[in-house]
Amino acid sequence: MNVLKRSGEEVVFDSAKIKNAILKANQATEKNQLTEQQISNITESVVKQCKDINRAVGVEEIQDMVEKAIMAEGNYDVAKNYITYRYERALVRQANTTDKKILSLLGRNNEEAKQENSNKNPVVNSTQRDYMAGEVSKDITQRFLLPSHIWEAHEKGIIHFHDADYFAQPMYNCCLINLEDMLQNGTVISGTKIDSPHSFVTACNIATQIIAQVASNQYGGQSITLSHLAPFVDVSRKKFRNDVARELTEAGLDATVEIVNQIAEERVKAEITKGVQTIQYQIITLMTTNGQAPFVTVYMYLDEVEEGQTREDLALIIEETLKQRIKGVKNEKGVFITPAFPKLIYTLDEDNVEEGSKYYYLTELAAKCTAKRLVPDYISAKIMKEYKGDVYPCMGCRSFLTPDRFTDAGIGNIAEAENYVAGQHKYYGRFNQGVVTLNLVDIACSSNKDINKFWKIFDERLDLCHEALMIRHNRLKGTPSDVAPILWQNGAIARLEKGEVIDPLLFNGYSTISLGYGGLCECVRYMTGQSHTSPEGMEFGLKVMQYMNDACAKWKADSNIDFSVYGTPMESTTYKFAKCLQDRFGIIEGVTDKNYITNSYHIHVTEEIDAFDKLTIEAKFQKLSPGGAISYVEVPNMQNNIKAVLALMKHIYNSIMYAELNTKSDFCQVCGFDGEITIEEDKNGKLIWKCPNCGNTDESKMNVARRTCGYIGTQYWNQGRTQEIKERVLHL
């Protein structure tokens, strides 16, 4: 059993420290002291509570337990002295809230930092630098930028104010890069003018440079579409035809159109291979200023380009992208493994979903890729057109823009994009302002199952979230374009003038701002006693979802800002919320008895349910999560059952907007085992990863890839998320 110190360092639990703290409070009490037996009883009680929690317990949690246990003995004088001692120590710590955390980061023993982001290596200098800056930002945010009641609600896990480690700077969350504008009309990178590329490979190379620059000027994910690269294939093709004709003529050979085109086409295919390889390897080897590879999604949708040569070229790029991802990338031992990025999304549509359709061969290839490498994920063009009227990718892993309403309103080209077409809906170049997440489980538990009280508390928490979201919005207002030229001046988001503020892009639906939520499953279970897969549970769950949508609609009408309900991809927050719930309400079976709460509207990971039924049921909730959400099904190794993968893909097309298949893709560097590395408990009750073949538990000598929150994580997870991964049941 371990203890998580305030600095983030995890140490072995020592009951003697609890006893000593009680003794000091007892000695400071002149009358009515505790007996030795009472002190032992209190210590044993606290130790038992810590063991029952079955995770590393925070120092503050232990102190709360001690405080309650002393009062349970009826000795309020000792309790008063203990509380006074805690308060005095808190004042000392508040003199500087960041030093110890920064020192523990530098000492590489901050367990919270190690497990905060499953795609950041907390040992390397660049990540440590980002985390150190983040600690300063959080300190400034806590003390100066947020009202105390907002920060207190955040600390208690009532809400979560996301990305406080970046909030000191005027930065937004995630975006869809307007790569088309930047490639077709030129851009500027680090003060250097970049003209429109004259080949597909050059376009791919410039794209990766843009991706790295964008990642360093925001804190969330970004998406590009392959359709913006497709026109440059024909640029290369025409160049190759000229080159081949000249070479054949100079060699005295017959340069017929047929021969020239045949040779040129072979060079085009080689060029596509090289360009796709450039994107894959540069993205995973680039290191941005926030200490990780760019969190980038690559979108594959054939109907984004017109029929004809460009669409055929896009099909070639998609085919090569899938083939290279199936192959994987080499780890340090030279073995091909599954990379975390770029994430891939493949759109299912009429021309590729049915066997015999024109591009069905790409869908078959996508199925093979998913079975081996976890991606691509799938968007149903059919369902998305029904929900949103248009088809476009999410920003990063799951955050979706609202449908374009500024074009329909005739507001015009407020971003000054050079590829703007009047009357044509616009999605690329748009962004999300930020997220504040609501803990639905806390609302339920706070109501004590009183339905009237539940809705009253819900209203109070929604008001709290709205206040926090407006703080995020107002933090961006007045931001000059000069703070991030790649975004605001050189085309990724806009082409504003130097010194011009970004304010017009914060209204009229150009950007979105997200009301996140988590724990619908446990909320419904507490209030109804049932899963939200049951008729009664589903009815209540859908009411909860609609209630949040109604609030967002009202806020939007009042402010002309596009608020949207967002199924938060909680990684470390799932653990934080669970700990706070246990602290506030104790252990409630089926509600707070795990070290995690369920992501967004998802069915609980332990609930036995068929894959097709799961997607069908979750589709009802996903429709009410328009700001972003993704559903998944957990599957075994499917590499020898591609027909089943294709059947699931067709079901996704017909039933749900956005979904994925979770499989396993691991490698042990010690023994060469290529299969599923398992999760087990060590002697202190901590969950660890262990090779089932050789018993290796050294995380630095294994490659583990797991779907975490819509994206693949490869740097391990906190104990709450690890327990959630361990307890997932198969749906197929």
pLDDT value at position 534? 98
**Same domain? 289 vs 238:** yes
Coil, helix or strand for 514?
strand
**How many helical (H) and strand (E) elements, i.e. helices and strands, does the chain have?**
25, 24
The dihedral through the CA atoms of 59, 64, 65, 70 has a sign that is positive
Q: How many domains does the chain have?
A: 3
C-alpha span between 488 and 58 (Å, rounded): 42
Q: Is 465 a catalytic residue?
A: no
Q: Is residue 637 part of a domain?
A: no
Q: Which one from 7, 432, 572, 631 is the annotated catalytic residue?
A: 432
**Same domain? 457 vs 555:** yes
Q: Is residue 297 part of a domain?
A: yes
Burial of 702 (0-12, 13-18, 19+ CB in 10 A): buried
Q: Is 175 a catalytic residue?
A: no
Q: Which one from 110, 399, 531, 599 is the annotated catalytic residue?
A: 399
From the list 728, 572, 596, the residue with the least C-alpha distance to 664 is: 728
Q: Is residue 126 part of a domain?
A: yes
pLDDT value at position 440? 98
Please write the tens of the pLDDT for every residue from 500-519.
999 999 999 999 999 999 99
Q: Which one from 384, 395, 548, 668 is the annotated catalytic residue?
A: 395
Q: Which one from 132, 397, 570, 691 is the annotated catalytic residue?
A: 397
**Same domain? 153 vs 82:** no
Q: Is 710 a catalytic residue?
A: yes
**Same domain? 128 vs 187:** no
Spell out the residues 6+ positions from residue 306 whose beta carbon is closer than 8 angstroms to its own: none
How many Cβ atoms from other residues are within 10 Å of residue 177's Cβ?
Answer: 28
**Same domain? 134 vs 56:** yes
Q: Which one from 1, 174, 527, 570 is the annotated catalytic residue?
A: 174
CATH code for the domain in which residue 578 is found: 3.20.70.20
Q: Is 432 a catalytic residue?
A: yes
Among 630, 660, 677, give the residue marking a domain's end.
630
Q: For the chain, which ranges sit under pLDDT 50?
A: 118, 289
- Prediction pTM value: 0.85
Q: Is residue 690 part of a domain?
A: no
Q: Which one from 396, 710, 713, 720 is the annotated catalytic residue?
A: 710
Q: Is residue 677 part of a domain?
A: no
Among 388, 419, 446, give the residue marking a domain's end.
388
Please write the tens of the pLDDT for every residue from 683-727.
888 889 999 999 999 988 998 888 776 667 766 777 777 888 888
From the list 51, 50, 25, the residue with the least C-alpha distance to 38 is: 25
Among 630, 659, 677, give the residue marking a domain's end.
630
C-alpha span between 665 and 703 (Å, rounded): 8
Q: Which one from 304, 571, 634, 724 is the annotated catalytic residue?
A: 571
**Same domain? 212 vs 128:** no
How many Cβ atoms from other residues are within 10 Å of residue 638's Cβ?
Answer: 19
Q: Is residue 672 part of a domain?
A: no
Q: Is residue 239 part of a domain?
A: yes
Q: Is 395 a catalytic residue?
A: yes
Task: Please give the residue range of the domain that contains residue 295.
Answer: 180-388
C-alpha span between 122 and 115 (Å, rounded): 9
Q: Is residue 683 part of a domain?
A: no
**Same domain? 160 vs 109:** no
pLDDT value at position 510? 98
**Same domain? 346 vs 205:** yes
Q: Is 399 a catalytic residue?
A: yes
pLDDT value at position 423? 94
Q: Is 397 a catalytic residue?
A: yes
**Same domain? 323 vs 443:** no
**Same domain? 24 vs 122:** yes
**Same domain? 157 vs 141:** no
pLDDT value at position 290? 54
C-alpha span between 215 and 287 (Å, rounded): 10
The dihedral through the CA atoms of 128, 130, 133, 139 has a sign that is negative
**Same domain? 129 vs 168:** no
